[in-house]
Structure 1
Amino acid sequence: MDAQTYGGADEVDPADQWVVNPRTGAYELRLGGPSAPRPDSDAVAEPPVRDDAAAPVPARVPRQRSRRGAPPPEAATGSGRRKRKQRGRKKVLVWTGGALALVLVGTSVYAYYWYDRLDGNISTVDIGDVGSDSVLEGGPVNILIIGNDIRVGKGNEDYGNRDNVTGHADTTLLFHISGDRSNATVVSIPRDLMTTIPDCDTRQSDGSTKVIAGSKVPTRFNESFGVNGRDPGCTMRTVEGITDLEVDHFMMFDFNAVKTLSTAVGGVKVCLKKPIKDEGGGSKLDLPAGESRIAGEDALSFLRNRHGLKNESDLDRIEMQQKFVASMMRQLKEDTLSSPMKMLDVAEAATKALTVDKGIGSAGKLVTLAKELGKIDLKNITLMTLPVIDNPDEPTPVTVVPNPVEAPKVFSMLQNDVSFTEVKKEQKAAKDKQAALLEGPRAEAQDVRVDLANGGAPGGSASAVLAWLQNSKGVSKSSNVGNAPKEVAKTTLEYAPNQADQARALADLMGLPASALKPGTTDATGTEPMMLVLGADFEQAGKPIAPPKKVDVKQSRADESVCGT
């Protein structure tokens, strides 16, 4: 490789730019060539800073759930949910096909040196007003990792449906990173989950916008991408409808990416309780019992295989895929980070394999995300599958639907940024956020004006709350306006800036979490009331609304090495 390609136009070999700092014992990048100060002097060279690199983090404001809502007032603080298009920068990367590469590569300044080279590798999709324009900000982040099952590429036709030239959302992970960067949760969404798919605006090659019709009745989740021209933004909207979480960004990989990434990291260790030999299936997988290191075609076969698993189902395959992801995370932490050249190889492969939204469509932004995720200890990364049950509408179920008891609990914990590994710590953090949001004076109960609507709570809830507020709490200026325009999963309180004292008082009475408060930007006039919509999380008057302490869902941790099948 010549200097123009490898070391830059000045023909400085990048290997010569990594020098040991005798004071720390660590390798550091000296960008100025032979004339640059050495790390044993007092002037150690710093990596270049680009305009889209990490900037000072602005104070957070309460996050708006809806794109339609006005931004919250500047006076509000805390790290609640963010308004789209005005969020700071965020972080992440991982896919069942094996992508955590750039996430951990980003912890090295070497990624900055190769910025331009990596930047040119990345493919982007304009998804319009879905997601966020920016990539780093305090507060939680949700990234959708989409595994596209497109069959284009050598050997991929063996996995069936050779005419599949657009792909579907075959393997999808919702990656939730906590606001304090202490933990993360990876939730696999089954491709055969039955759900409605909303109408979605898609950007065409000529710059125009085309509305792709959604599904009128529940359909398989994997049809949220690829079918009828649906783009990743459609999948993001579908996940938002399922979880009531805002999805900030997406990253998408295909079969070929699995092969190149698993090879770039030097293979991924997997462990089997018993051998798998798929003689009749499309995967052609042949692995012995015990530990094996797989890469390339074998890695893809492992991730696609269902033969020999308990029920030979997609849910069984998801569990094996999660073990693969966890193993790759461990390998990157323990092995790849120690070698700058290995990191470069992985970063090169990862950026070539990536398709992302424009909000994170540069190497600098992905590095920023990577550095954030690199702060999380593997033992605090939880992997799970969305809790589901067999579809009750099918005589012989072949699809699934969300578990009506456990799925809402998982969503609630994610919405309230509660860790699955450090629940007590995160519950305290959630209370601290609520206290910060509610800091200030409270109105007297008789001065609180509020309309109540039922948006998914048990029948009669609005009437019951109205009677409770008026008769037990002295909130006489309250009214029941009937049913909300649509059902919502979470209870919300919308209020104007000059009603903040009323909102604080009502939140105290109702036991509302910080995520329920939706401040606007325009002051209310006259006797205009606040609006309290009782969601599916509401149970009864007087019972505080708070995230659950635990869920009955099978989980694993990224630091665990367990044999599967």
Structure 2
Amino acid sequence: MAPGRDVPPPRRRRDAPEEPLPGRRGRRPVKKKSNAKKALLWTGGTMAFVLVAGATTGWFYLKHLEGNVGTTDVGDAAASSFSKDEAFNILVIGTDKRTGEGNEGYGDKGSVGHADTNILLHVAKDRSNATALSIPRDLIVDIPDCQTKQEDGSDAVVAGQDGVRFNRSLGERGRDAGCTMRTVEAATGIKPDHFVMADFNAVKTLTSAVDGVDVCVEKAVDDKQSKLKLPAGESKVEGERALAFVRTRHAFGNSGDLDRIKVQQQFLGSLMRKMTSGDTLTSPRKLLKLAEAATEALTVDKAIGNVGTLKDIALELKKVPTKNISFMTVPVKDNPAETVKATVVVDESQAPAIFEAIKNDVSFTEVKTEQKKEKAEIAARLKGTKSAASDVRVSILNGGAPAGSAQQQLAYLQTEAGVTKSDNAGNAEAPLAKTTLEYDPDQADQARRLADIMGLSGAALKPGKSVTNAQGLPAMTLTLGKDFKGAGVKLNAATTAPANVAGRSTADKVQCAS
């Protein structure tokens, strides 16, 4: 039996035409990443393509830009396609490998290219907001086993490692970007759909393309290592000086990676503001320079490495207001296993709430009144009378949960939760990311009772049509999605983001590094 599937076959809704089950695809082979696109990646590169794709109509020119982009096939670590109608997660990766013209003096001379800078960008389904979550390179994680394509063309599984720095998820032992994506999912529970990488030159060329980026520092900076010199207050940086600004650690805070992350986030916010300014958008020269700089710096997964998909992603990103792009860092604390503090671990008192909010597409910023109204309507689905558990009629489908889940949940509902009028309806027609409960409005009191039993959010409740169960009576449809945690385990999906997240900022605000 295939994983995530139950028997018997799926039950059709009343009056609905019969549809065949979709075929299952085999795992795609993993392709080695382009040798020309190796080092530090910035979300600014993606934002540059956003602007150009929105302003450029020449198909041949966009095809030329596609030819600039390197691609890597990371197999099933990445989604097989991009959907314009769903939320999506893009993992932005930068390495410390010393490649690219003029970059011989940067990074670790002996490095094979580790995951030095990492930002998980979540874009909301309604495009009203986005969250850029920085993942520290010195975060202690468990790296899972990872299938990769070797230089000789053979497939090999790189063994995982427990209790190591996050940055070792890329480059070491032949690990590719897919290994980093899998590590992110293992550490946060959030699955990246796609990845993007670029080199050191991206910072230089992007900032030069917009005639410099404004930055601010509270105190004068004279960093001998990065060669960054800035007066206190505001300055404009581009090219080499911009790269020095985002790479310096010793000029800010405690000279650690966490302080550097804050500076990088402030820089990205400034770069985004500059690229979306009227001065940039009305200048064909700047737009073309941005297009060339961004695409020449990019390496992406194979699924999004074509002109049509890149343009689609760009236009979807363009819809998000900068004031609703939140920057934050995974909450961490010093590694208790170390006497001399050099690494960090996830702060379990704060991080899970942030991870859950991102997984459940919850905004960290205020959104439009219409969206608030919609969220209020969704929350209202849980309010009202609840029927007795013995009166709940529900048919259960497996829509992506582990094999046997529908039968296991059925047994739990019947023997422990008192929902005796339930049955196993087999497999859903297509997998779902999240568990849903569809019901006729007349069954709302039953839906609220089952939601209470299972810990379902208002968003999981889908008013619609009932189905006919094995006894010929109307019943609700419970579809167990990939988020199903096991029989009897409540889902309790987050519906609001945690307040006062330490270090959170938004892309529209000017901040001074300290």
**Is 2:68–2:296's contact at 8 Å kept on the other side of the alignment?**
yes
The aligned amino acid for 2:195 is: F
Deviates more, 1:177-186 or 1:265-274: 265-274
Q: Distance in 2 between matches of 1:138 and 1:324?
A: 30
The aligned counterpart of 2:184 is: 239
The aligned counterpart of 1:21 is: none
Tell me: CA distance 1:408–1:539, structure 2 relative to 1, closer, same or farther (3 Å). Answer: farther
Tell me: CA distance 1:309–1:360, structure 2 relative to 1, closer, same or farther (3 Å). Answer: same
**Is 1:492–1:533's contact at 8 Å kept on the other side of the alignment?**
yes
The aligned counterpart of 1:194 is: 140
Tell me: CA distance 1:208–1:137, structure 2 relative to 1, closer, same or farther (3 Å). Answer: farther
Q: Deviations over 1:386-426 (max 9, x none)?
A: 11111122223211111112111111111111111027976
Alignment partner of 2:315 out of 371, 375, 379: 371
Tell me: CA distance 1:534–1:144, structure 2 relative to 1, closer, same or farther (3 Å). Answer: closer
Give the TM-score normalised by structure 1: 0.68
The aligned amino acid for 1:357 is: D
Deviation for aligned residue 1:117: 1.5
Deviation for aligned residue 1:531: 7.6
Q: Distance in 1 between matches of 2:447 and 2:152?
A: 47
Deviation for aligned residue 1:544: 5.5
Q: Deviations over 1:442-500 (max 9, x none)?
A: 995465699xxxx9xxxxxx9xx979x978x633589xxxxxxxxxxxx9869999xxx
The aligned counterpart of 2:498 is: 550
Deviation for aligned residue 1:208: 3.5
Alignment partner of 1:329 out of 272, 286, 306: 272
The aligned counterpart of 1:506 is: 450
Q: Secondary structure at the match of 2:510?
A: coil
Q: Distance in 2 between matches of 1:561 and 1:68?
A: 49
The aligned counterpart of 2:30 is: none
The aligned counterpart of 1:16 is: none
**Is 1:128–1:203's contact at 8 Å kept on the other side of the alignment?**
no
Deviation for aligned residue 1:146: 0.4
Deviation for aligned residue 1:294: 1.2
Q: Distance in 2 between matches of 1:388 and 1:84?
A: 40
**Is 1:276–1:307's contact at 8 Å kept on the other side of the alignment?**
no
Aligned pair 1:563/2:507, yes or no? no
The aligned amino acid for 1:149 is: D
The aligned counterpart of 2:156 is: 210
The aligned counterpart of 2:238 is: 295
Q: Distance in 1 between matches of 2:305 and 2:348?
A: 37
Alignment partner of 1:395 out of 314, 318, 339: 339
Tell me: CA distance 1:401–1:106, structure 2 relative to 1, closer, same or farther (3 Å). Answer: same
The aligned counterpart of 1:224 is: 169
**Is 1:391–1:397's contact at 8 Å kept on the other side of the alignment?**
yes
The aligned counterpart of 2:196 is: 251
The aligned amino acid for 1:250 is: F
Unaligned runs of 5+ in 1: 1-66, 76-82, 87-93, 437-441, 456-461, 479-490
Identity among equivalent pairs (%): 46
Q: Deviations over 1:46-68 (max 9, x none)?
A: xxxxxxxxxxxxxxxxxxxxx95
Deviation for aligned residue 1:203: 2.5
Matching of residues 465-544 of structure 1 within 5 Å: 474-475=418-419, 506-513=450-457
The aligned counterpart of 2:65 is: 118
The aligned amino acid for 1:213 is: A
The aligned amino acid for 1:234 is: C
Q: Distance in 2 between matches of 1:262 and 1:120?
A: 22
Q: Which has the higher contact order (CA 8 A, sep 6+)?
A: 2
The aligned counterpart of 1:319 is: 262
Deviation for aligned residue 1:284: 1.1
The aligned counterpart of 1:339 is: 283
Alignment partner of 1:169 out of 87, 112, 115: 115
The aligned amino acid for 1:186 is: A
**Is 1:418–1:427's contact at 8 Å kept on the other side of the alignment?**
no
Q: Distance in 1 between matches of 2:12 and 2:236?
A: 53
Q: Secondary structure at the match of 2:296?
A: helix
Deviation for aligned residue 1:530: 8.9
**Is 2:100–2:199's contact at 8 Å kept on the other side of the alignment?**
no
The aligned amino acid for 1:231 is: D
Tell me: CA distance 1:305–1:449, structure 2 relative to 1, closer, same or farther (3 Å). Answer: same
Q: Secondary structure at the match of 1:176?
A: strand
The aligned amino acid for 1:103 is: V
Deviation for aligned residue 1:341: 2.3
Alignment partner of 2:326 out of 378, 382, 393: 382
Aligned pair 1:352/2:296, yes or no? yes
Q: Secondary structure at the match of 1:161?
A: coil
Deviation for aligned residue 1:232: 0.5
**Is 1:537–1:545's contact at 8 Å kept on the other side of the alignment?**
no
Give the TM-score normalised by structure 2: 0.74
